[in-house]
């Protein structure tokens, strides 16, 4: 990629829940060449602080923490998919990795965090099941490493999944990639608008031709 990859790591510590290995993850990602890493972690990862950081533009946002279907846990409470999409709307990132258990699983309302972000136009990686912290760290580190080198989200996802399969085979199928849907939809709408405009121009030309006496039969 041209320039350094801008990565934000969100890693909340939640009272009453087991601590995660985000400091280990931090040190490994910080050592990846071509990456500029910033962190919002620990007890500082609260809604107001995280929201402020999500208003900035990032190549990649890594959300490393505890989760459940339909929600992610911050230091001061849970947030949902609509909250995330709203906070990222000002400067949508290129990709978001929701490295939290069940971040792609549907809740009782049949919605998932990953699907909500995807439908808002943000390419997202989610976990449909619970995974070991060590496997999530491997995925995140290798995803960032491959993304910094290739510039391709799809390639980075494949590389990270492959590495997880080698080291934590049971977790290899937990993560899947959802493209940002609105981007593709927007291109379709734009193309249809262009076609309609060309048809309108052709119709106007035909009307002018038909109005000329020399072309009437």
Question: What is the signed CA dihedral for 123, 80, 132, 44, rounded to 10 degrees?
Answer: 100
Q: Would you say 47 and 10 are in contact if contact means Cβ atoms under 8 Å apart?
A: no
Q: Give dist(CA 208, CA 105) in Å, integer.
A: 58
Residue 205 has a pLDDT of 73
Structure-block tokens of residue 60? 């990649």
Q: Is 56 exposed, middle or buried (0-12, 13-18, 19+ CB in 10 A)?
A: middle
Q: Would you say 153 and 97 are in contact if contact means Cβ atoms under 8 Å apart?
A: no
Per domain, the residue ranges of the chain are 5-179, 181-217
Domain 5-179: top CATH class = alpha beta
Residue 71 has a pLDDT of 93
**Global pTM?**
0.80
Reduced to 3 states (helix: H, G, I; strand: E, B; else coil), residue 48 is: helix
User: Residue-wise pLDDT tens for the chain (217 aa)?
Assistant: 557 999 999 999 999 998 888 888 999 999 999 999 999 999 999 999 999 999 999 999 999 999 999 999 999 999 999 999 999 999 999 999 999 988 888 888 778 899 999 989 999 999 988 888 889 999 999 999 999 999 999 999 999 999 999 988 877 777 768 877 654 444 444 555 666 666 777 777 777 766 765 544 4
């Amino acid at each position: 990629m041209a320039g350094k990859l801008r990565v934000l790591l969100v890693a909340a510590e939640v009272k009453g829940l087991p601590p995660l290995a985000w400091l280990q993850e931090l040190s490994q990602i910080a050592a990846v060449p071509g990456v500029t890493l910033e962190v919002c972690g620990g007890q500082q990862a609260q809604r107001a602080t995280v929201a402020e950081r999500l208003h900035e533009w990032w190549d990649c946002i890594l959300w490393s923490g505890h989760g459940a279907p339909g929600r992610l846990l911050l230091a001061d409470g849970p947030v949902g998919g609509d909250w995330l999409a709203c906070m990222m709307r000002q400067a949508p990132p290129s990709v978001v990795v929701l490295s939290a258990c069940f971040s792609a699983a549907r809740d009782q309302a049949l919605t998932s965090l990953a699907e909500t972000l995807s439908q808002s136009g943000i390419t997202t990686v989610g976990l449909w099941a619970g995974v070991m912290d060590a496997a999530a760290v491997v995925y995140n580190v290798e995803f960032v490493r491959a993304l910094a080198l290739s510039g391709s989200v799809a390639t980075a996802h494949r590389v990270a999944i492959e590495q997880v399969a080698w080291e934590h085979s049971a977790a290899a199928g937990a993560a899947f990639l959802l493209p940002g849907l609105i981007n593709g939809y927007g291109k379709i709408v734009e193309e249809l608008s262009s076609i309609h405009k060309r048809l309108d121009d052709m119709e106007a030309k035909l009307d002018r031709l038909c109005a000329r006496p020399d072309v009437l039969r």
